[in-house]
Homo-oligomer: A and B are copies of this chain.
Amino acid sequence: MKRIAIDMDEVITDATGRHIEWYAEEFGQVIDRSSFHGKRFYMAVPEEHRDTVRAYPHREGFFKDMTMMEGARDVILDLSKEYEIFVVTAAMEFRNSFVHKYDWLQEHLDFISWKNYVFCGDKSIIEADYLIDDLEKNLKPFKGEPLLFTATHNMNLKDYPRYNNWQEIRAKFLS
């Protein structure tokens, strides 16, 4: 059985949505996703707010109860019948994320065992056939086949086969 490693933030969970939500709560303005096309979220806000915004993932609760990306559960469930699935997230950067990420996976992807969760920093440590991820820094050192999952910040990246949504991931693996 071939093994697919799947990143969490921006692939399974909508971390950008959390940024937009917290920024709107704090500064009263809803930032439209089109305004940071090809850039990170913090680049779309006034310069004096950037440090605040960049610190959001370090604040308690950022990773709690995140919205799931459309179609993620259904497709991962179907993939799990024909592939070995590991959720591989660079959680180590955020000490406050561990229990929230664990609880999220237990609740929303209950068909995946905790044995198949990986919290790491550097994804070159991952032994898998495929890695679905939104960040070049994770895909580049990976030794298997890399799949770029589209996120607003990676729109201009050309070096990896791109998958725009979970239906395209389904078509790649289950057609």
Residues of A whose CB lies within 8 Å of any CB of B are 3, 5, 86, 88, 91-93, 95, 98-99, 102, 113-122, 124-128, 143
Q: Report the copy number of this chain in the oligomer.
A: 2
> CB distance A125 to B121 under 8 Å?
no
> CB distance B119 to A118 under 8 Å?
yes
> CB distance A120 to B122 under 8 Å?
no
> CB distance B122 to A116 under 8 Å?
yes
Q: Which residues of B contact A116 (CB under 8 A)?
A: 121-122, 125
* 22 A–B contacts, CB within 8 A, in A order: A5-B125, A86-B125, A88-B125, A92-B114, A92-B115, A92-B117, A98-B99, A98-B102, A98-B119, A113-B121, A115-B122, A116-B125, A117-B119, A117-B121, A118-B120, A118-B121, A119-B120, A120-B120, A124-B127, A125-B126, A125-B127, A127-B143
